[in-house]
Structure 1
Amino acid sequence: MSTLSRAQVEATLRQFTDPHLDQDPVSAGCLREVDIQGGKVRVRLELGYAAGLFKSGWAQMLKMALENLDGVDSAEVQVDCVIAAHKAQDQVPALTNVKNVIAVASGKGGVGKSTTAANLALALAREGARVGILDADIYGPSQGIMFGIPEGTRPKVRDQKFFVPIEAHGVEVMSMAFLTDENTPVVWRGPMVSGALIQLITQTAWNDLDYLVVDMPPGTGDIQLTLAQKVPVAGSVIVTTPQDLALLDAKKGVEMFRKVNIPVLGVVENMAVHICSNCGHAEHLFGEGGGEKLAAQYGVDLLASLPLSMAIRMQSDGGKPTTIADPESQIAMIYQQMARCVGARIAQSDQAATAMPNITISDD
């Protein structure tokens, strides 16, 4: 019987592609340990993203492949998820107790950005990560409603300086809605809103988060620029619908993040298709393939394409977004896949971000 070698083990592992990293575990740098004791093989992999619902099946698949190798009597595959802090803009100081900041943005309102942000945060938490969500939409905060936090709830204050985020569904939540009257609009000019946003971010006592999801206000104005310049954003997710007008504004969102050197992790397309609840007929009410074209144009991933669904709307309005209201549904599985891909893209963006560019105004 020939002696089993590490090269044979690695060659076997290279035959399988991690669907979130789009690489085999060896090429992706996930292999941490190979121990060969006669006919017993032990392999340890380390994923740099939250994948609690995926790793056991991944480990079982690799174990079966290794046990088919000549000379292997038994194999053990251990898969761990270790989420590190990834580098953002050089001159932006890190947030205390937050490893990675994910900005969820859209070029215009009404495309399901806040719903996407809420389900992304909840899906990451279901994968085993410690997650917080910041509702940065000062004028129209909605995360309190989506997470089922009762009206009038106020955060506790620690050391007369820090807000203690409110926990809901295993996620830490902070929103301007917790500090103002729900029925009173925030009638502030841009500088006041930007100042309040930075205060909200830096004076919230987050508790050792792997990911902080920031639900950005729609558009590409001074609030978005302030966030990009003052907060160490590891990556951004652009939300759109297939409609041409929405795609036009989404392109501006992609360009904005590129100008401030924040990686665009991918595109999420909402309201892609409507399935009639009576007859099952599929109809593309807002156009077809727009998100895919946008992603291809900018060389990023289409992270998810979600239907126009009454269930998504009702569950969000009811304070239990789809990811936790119906976790075994097809839509929830799309959100889980999206969350793992977002984490994987952050883990892959190991190159240092360059300095913030100078912004100039020209006539052309």
Structure 2
Amino acid sequence: MKLNKKNILIILKECGVSDLEGNSKIGTIKNILISANNIKLEISIYNPTYNFKIKLKEDITSLINSKIDFDSKKSSLDIILLVQQKNKEINKKKIIAISSAKGGVGKSTVACNLAVSFAQKGYKVGLIDADVYGPSQHIMFDIEDQSPALDKKNNKIIPLSNYGVKILSIGNFVNQNSPVIWRGPMATKAFKQFVEDVDWSDVEYLFIDLPPGTSDIHLTLVQSLELDGAVIVSTPQKIALADVKKGIAMFKKEDISVPIIGLVENMSYYETESKKDFIFGEHGVRNVAEDYKENFLGSIPLSSSIRESCDVGRPFVLQKDTNVKNIFSSIADNIDQIINSQDNKSKKLKITNNKGCS
């Protein structure tokens, strides 16, 4: 291939770098300078980690040397990587991702009730429903028929609000009976808009209800925001726990590096008057937390009342003096304690009492 801008762009696209803003998980090309067979590339990247920068430079250099008419002994290749700045204003908040590596474990239910629990403690709380393919927070907060307004002065979307929580869900923007069939770039662009184009100015705690699994949304999340940490939700079932371990590994990857606040065991047991029935197995999430030396935040029982409260759009924690409400409140206390005990976001998060609650 001849040495020209067109062919250099082809090489960069092979490495995941795009010439269009927002169309790449890696970054975008800002400038290509070719002079007397010398090449200078300026690339705006999302990931600031050292290992990522080294690998990207090596990949680009290798492809140029192998595919372009370029003599590295006689000419120079200068690759300048510019890290895109994250949203400074929103990163002043305490930002917590609620994650589950497996679907159907009650992650959104936990996110909803934790958000309201923090509001009950007096915090100003926001919640982003980032599960763009299966949104549910608009139902759980009883705002199905509402649409967010636009603040024309600031050109910002005003999130909806209920039970002391500001909420934004893709469910308020799409037809309720139509599936959201989007490719990865469309979903990540929607999430970035929820972060950057929405007025979260007075929020102290911002919860993000992630889609299950490990997807483009998760990568965009860590590229766009400085997370204070992630809460991982799972049932104690062995099949679910296999994916929990993948979720822990994802957050610990060098190019993601998000602290894990702790693990929550949902549908932990079914309680009758006489006993607890551990339908999905006993203490599975607690054991994984111990194995991986992570905080165990608490166990939430399997309860038809929790399901019913979600269906009617009234979070369970709005009930007074019930055992389950107290469990959610205790988990919220644990998270609050962990977050506020840190001097900065780079330190390892630890809970002083690792027994959790049940």
Tell me if TM exceeds 0.5: yes
Residue equivalent to 2:93: 99
Structure 1 letter corresponding to 2:322 = S
2: CA distance, partners of 1:94 / 1:292: 36
Matches within 5 A, 1:110-121: 110-121=104-115
Matches within 5 A, 1:1-364: 92-96=86-90, 99-149=93-143, 151-159=144-152, 161-259=155-253, 260-276=256-272, 280-324=274-318, 326-353=319-346
Relative to structure 1, the CA distance from residue 261 to residue 90 in structure 2 (aligned partners, 3 Å threshold; closer, same or farther) is farther
2: CA distance, partners of 1:262 / 1:203: 24
Deviation at 1:281, TM superposition (A): 3.9
Deviation at 1:352, TM superposition (A): 4.5
Q: Secondary structure at the match of 1:218?
A: coil
2: CA distance, partners of 1:296 / 1:281: 25
CA contact (8 A) 1:134 1:212 kept: yes
Structure 1 letter corresponding to 2:330 = Q
Unaligned runs of 5+ in 1: 1-88, 355-364
Deviation at 1:282, TM superposition (A): 2.4
Q: Provide the alpha-carbon RMSD of the alignment.
A: 1.9
2: CA distance, partners of 1:174 / 1:262: 23
Structure 2 letter corresponding to 1:269 = E
In the TM superposition, what whole-angstrom CA distance separates every residue of 1:163-206 from its partner, at most 9, and x where no partner exists?
10111011101111111111111111011101111111111111
Structure number with the bigger relative contact order (C-alpha 8 A, sep ≥ 6) is 1
Q: Secondary structure at the match of 1:209?
A: coil
In the TM superposition, what whole-angstrom CA distance separates every residue of 1:204-235 from its partner, at most 9, and x where no partner exists?
11141110010000001221111111122111
Structure 2 letter corresponding to 1:264 = I
1: CA distance, partners of 2:204 / 2:343: 16
Q: Secondary structure at the match of 2:228?
A: strand
1: CA distance, partners of 2:225 / 2:217: 12
In the TM superposition, what whole-angstrom CA distance separates every residue of 1:32-84 from its partner, at most 9, and x where no partner exists?
xxxxxxxxxxxxxxxxxxxxxxxxxxxxxxxxxxxxxxxxxxxxxxxxxxxxx
2: CA distance, partners of 1:98 / 1:180: 30
Q: Secondary structure at the match of 1:137?
A: coil
2: CA distance, partners of 1:106 / 1:225: 15
2: CA distance, partners of 1:178 / 1:351: 35
CA contact (8 A) 1:272 1:284 kept: yes
1: CA distance, partners of 2:200 / 2:166: 8
Structure 2 letter corresponding to 1:113 = K
CA contact (8 A) 1:95 1:232 kept: no
Q: Secondary structure at the match of 2:239?
A: helix
In the TM superposition, what whole-angstrom CA distance separates every residue of 1:238-295 from its partner, at most 9, and x where no partner exists?
000000111110111111111112110000001111124xx64421110111011111
Structure 1 letter corresponding to 2:336 = G
Structure 2 letter corresponding to 1:232 = E
Q: Percent identity?
A: 41
In the TM superposition, what whole-angstrom CA distance separates every residue of 1:104-131 from its partner, at most 9, and x where no partner exists?
0000110000000001100001111110
Relative to structure 1, the CA distance from residue 351 to residue 146 in structure 2 (aligned partners, 3 Å threshold; closer, same or farther) is same
CA contact (8 A) 1:272 1:308 kept: yes
2: CA distance, partners of 1:197 / 1:320: 25
TM-score by length of 1: 0.69
Q: Secondary structure at the match of 1:212?
A: strand
Relative to structure 1, the CA distance from residue 353 to residue 92 in structure 2 (aligned partners, 3 Å threshold; closer, same or farther) is farther
Q: Which of 160-169 and 308-317 deviates more?
A: 160-169
Deviating 4+ runs (over 2 angstroms): 89-98, 279-282, 348-354
Residue equivalent to 1:48: none
Q: Secondary structure at the match of 1:133?
A: strand
2: CA distance, partners of 1:288 / 1:301: 17
Deviation at 1:91, TM superposition (A): 5.7
TM-score by length of 2: 0.70
CA contact (8 A) 2:98 2:232 kept: yes
2: CA distance, partners of 1:350 / 1:214: 22
Deviation at 1:90, TM superposition (A): 11
CA contact (8 A) 1:275 1:282 kept: yes
Structure 2 letter corresponding to 1:274 = Y
